[in-house]
Amino acid sequence: MKTNTEDIMVERVEGWLEVTLNRPEKMNSLREQTAQEIMDVLNEAEAARDVAAILLKGSDKAFCTGIDTSEFTIGDNEYFDFYRKRRRQRKVNRLFRELPAYSKPIISVIEGYALGGGLELALVSDMIVAGANAKFGLPEIRLGMMPGGGGTQTLPRLIGPALAKELMWTGRRLAAAEAREYRLVNHVTEAGQALEKARELARTIGGNAPLSVMFTKAMIDRGMDLPLAEGMAAEGDASFMLYFTRDRAEGLSAFREKRTPDFRGE
């Protein structure tokens, strides 16, 4: 995995990767370089059979506080040029679009602030584990803006449109306990313990059949936007494909023999 990164730190822990946002002077805000480094690491992890999951985390003070606005300088008569770059070239925008497409589970580990684009980054991961001191919010409306990293689409799918509108229209922050009440996060731990809980989840996921995890993730994500009948048909096709894998045979044998299966993603 890449080690010559400036904005993130990457560490291999057991069977997963831990990617740490490392811009403390900017409260871990995202710039173009940050987005590119994250995508480069995830692209490598996709092809690595020995990587079962990715944990995305920040610091105790801030997971991520959004987009680095210093890169939003637009010169005279350059507005349409910036629009074109946003649609096709800006790496931060690509990160929000592409993160859900990775086949391996991505768990966001949040201590401190997850605001604006930082919350949107967590929302396009697969799960969120938060420490008790975590704070969540989409405050863009207070600055005359609105979410631009998918928040108007991802948040209502998690907590419903009425609550999503309230949070966006007021810009108020949620504490971790309230976020759990709204089912915005999977788990809330004591302050400073979110990483250990996320590692526990990654360890459990890593012990299961990689192809089953991959197909299940794909079916859940695709099925959210499909009619029920189409989603069930897609699930049936994917489930049937697993009948021909080595891991299915190994799982059944291990069950009969009362031993731990040796899954290989084959």
Report the domain count for the chain: 2
- Give yes or no: residues 69 and 80 share one domain: yes
**Is 1 domain-assigned?**
no
**Is 181 domain-assigned?**
yes
- Give yes or no: residues 231 and 177 share one domain: no
- Give yes or no: residues 118 and 130 share one domain: yes
- Give yes or no: residues 187 and 235 share one domain: no
| pLDDT tens sequence for the chain (266 residues) | 656 799 999 999 999 999 999 999 999 999 999 999 999 999 999 999 999 999 999 999 999 999 998 877 777 777 777 777 776 778 999 999 999 999 999 999 999 999 999 999 999 999 999 999 999 999 999 999 999 999 999 999 999 999 999 999 999 999 999 999 999 999 999 999 999 999 999 999 999 999 999 999 999 999 999 999 999 999 999 999 999 999 999 999 999 999 999 999 99
CATH of the domain at 202: 3.90.226.10
- Give yes or no: residues 193 and 245 share one domain: no
- Give yes or no: residues 41 and 91 share one domain: yes
Q: Which residue has the tokens 């069950």?
A: 255
> CB–CB of 185/130 below 8 Å?
yes
- Give yes or no: residues 197 and 238 share one domain: no
**Is 56 domain-assigned?**
yes
Going by C-alpha positions, the residue among 224, 142, 133 that lies closest to residue 179 is 133
- Give yes or no: residues 112 and 70 share one domain: yes
Task: Supply the pLDDT for residue 1.
Answer: 61
Residue 29: CA count within 13 A, CB half-sphere:
13
**Is 134 domain-assigned?**
yes
Q: Residues 167-222: pLDDT tens digits? A: 999 999 999 999 999 999 999 999 999 999 999 999 999 999 999 999 999 999 99
Task: Supply the pLDDT for residue 76.
Answer: 78
Among 207, 224, 243, the domain-final residue is 207
Among 207, 223, 242, the domain-final residue is 207
> CB–CB of 107/57 below 8 Å?
no
- Give yes or no: residues 214 and 105 share one domain: no
- Give yes or no: residues 142 and 237 share one domain: no
**Is 262 domain-assigned?**
no
Among 207, 231, 249, the domain-final residue is 207
Write phi, then psi, for 18 (nearest 5 degrees).
-115, 120
- Give yes or no: residues 121 and 193 share one domain: yes
Going by C-alpha positions, the residue among 126, 4, 133 that lies closest to residue 63 is 133
CATH of the domain at 248: 1.10.12
**Range(s) of the domain holding residue 108:** 8-207
Going by C-alpha positions, the residue among 39, 111, 25 that lies closest to residue 70 is 25
Indicate which residues carry an active-site annotation: 120, 140
- Give yes or no: residues 177 and 222 share one domain: no
CB within 8 A of 67, min separation 6: which ones? 29, 30, 31, 92, 116, 117, 148, 149
